[in-house]
């Protein structure tokens, strides 16, 4: 049974979430504040965390940072905060996904299933990523469009691609990519990303103008989808 830690201080919403998730065979642990959430996370070891950012005792971003100090459990933010910079702050802190309130009770379980699948997909033994358009070998550091047809990638292109395909389905922010590939001093050079992502799409996507695998999340970052 998949166990979900729900960190939310609105009793009515917590009740709705618990009923909805239990009906779908999830085990649910509710936490009304950040301190309780961190204690339950350590005790119960949930498979996924659903987290509101506006908690009574601490900001949800600080909860994310505290969790990321010791666990890679998927974190789905469920918040009324809609500003792009607040979403980016949560994702930069280590959240895996972000939904804004109000939200669909049918969409939430789908997001939870996807988060759990992504965690399973990035197991250490994963060495090859296969899509309908290309295959990436993370050990040999090669990319193929078809069997035996290798794609030549520059070191920078490979670095970007490796980060994305190693985190399937997860939104990687512009800031995270820039800092990882070019260093902290270049964390505002978003034009770098646009140029290199366009190059990767031309080399790997069957239709670069309508990519299926190297996806842009406008104003936020990029996501790899199988």
pLDDT category at 123 given cuts 50, 70, 90 is very low
Tens digits of residue pLDDT in 14-62: 999 999 999 999 999 999 999 999 999 988 889 999 999 999 999 999 9
Residues 106, 15 share a domain: yes
127-131, 155-159, 184-188: range with lowest mean pLDDT: 184-188
Give the model's pLDDT for residue 64: 93
The encoded tokens of residue 54 equal 């506006």
Tens digits of residue pLDDT in 50-91: 999 999 999 999 999 888 878 888 999 999 888 888 888 898
Residues 199, 138 share a domain: yes
The answer, yes or no, to whether residue 223 has pLDDT greater than 60, is yes
Give the model's pLDDT for residue 124: 46
Buried b (16+ CB within 10 A) or exposed e, 189-221: eeebbeebbebbbebbbeeeeebebbbeeeebb
Residues 151, 80 share a domain: no
Give the model's pLDDT for residue 213: 95
Give the model's pLDDT for residue 184: 67
Give the model's pLDDT for residue 63: 94
Distance between CA 104 and CA 166 in Å, rounded?
Answer: 29
Give the model's pLDDT for residue 116: 79
Residues 211, 135 share a domain: yes
Distance between CA 76 and CA 46 in Å, rounded?
Answer: 12
Beta-ladder partners of 27 = 3
What is the mean pLDDT of the segment spanning 125-133? 79
Residues 216, 138 share a domain: yes
Q: End of a domain among 121, 152, 178?
A: 121
How far CA 136 is from CA of 126, 164, 209, in Å, comes to 11, 11, 21
Tens digits of residue pLDDT in 187-222: 678 888 999 999 999 999 999 999 999 999 888 889
Domain count, the chain: 2
Distance between CA 125 and CA 8 in Å, rounded?
Answer: 35
Mean pLDDT (the chain) is 87
Q: Can you give the residue range of the structural domain that contains 179?
A: 128-224
Residues 213, 140 share a domain: yes
Beta-ladder partners of 30 = 6
């Amino acid at each position: 049974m998949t166990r979900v830690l729900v960190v939310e201080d609105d009793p009515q919403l917590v009740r709705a979430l618990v009923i909805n998730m239990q009906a779908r065979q999830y085990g649910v642990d509710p936490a009304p504040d950040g301190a309780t959430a961190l204690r339950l996370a350590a005790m119960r070891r949930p498979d996924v965390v659903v987290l509101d950012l506006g908690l009574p005792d601490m900001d949800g971003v600080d909860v994310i940072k505290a969790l990321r100090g010791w666990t890679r459990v998927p974190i789905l933010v469920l918040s009324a905060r809609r500003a792009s910079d607040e979403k980016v702050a949560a994702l930069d802190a280590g959240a895996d996904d972000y939904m804004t309130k109000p939200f669909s009770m049918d969409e939430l379980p789908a997001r939870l299933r996807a988060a759990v699948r992504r965690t399973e997909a990035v197991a250490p033994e994963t060495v090859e990523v296969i899509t309908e358009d290309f295959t990436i070998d993370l050990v040999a550091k090669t990319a193929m469009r078809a069997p035996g047809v290798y794609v030549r990638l520059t070191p920078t292109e490979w670095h970007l691609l490796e980060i994305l395909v190693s985190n399937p389905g997860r939104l990687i922010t512009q800031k995270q990519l820039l800092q990882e590939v070019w260093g902290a001093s270049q964390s505002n050079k978003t034009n770098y990303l646009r140029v290199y992502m366009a190059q990767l799409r031309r080399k790997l996507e069957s239709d670069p103008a309508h990519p299926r695998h190297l996806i842009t999340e406008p104003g936020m970052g990029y996501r790899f989808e199988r």
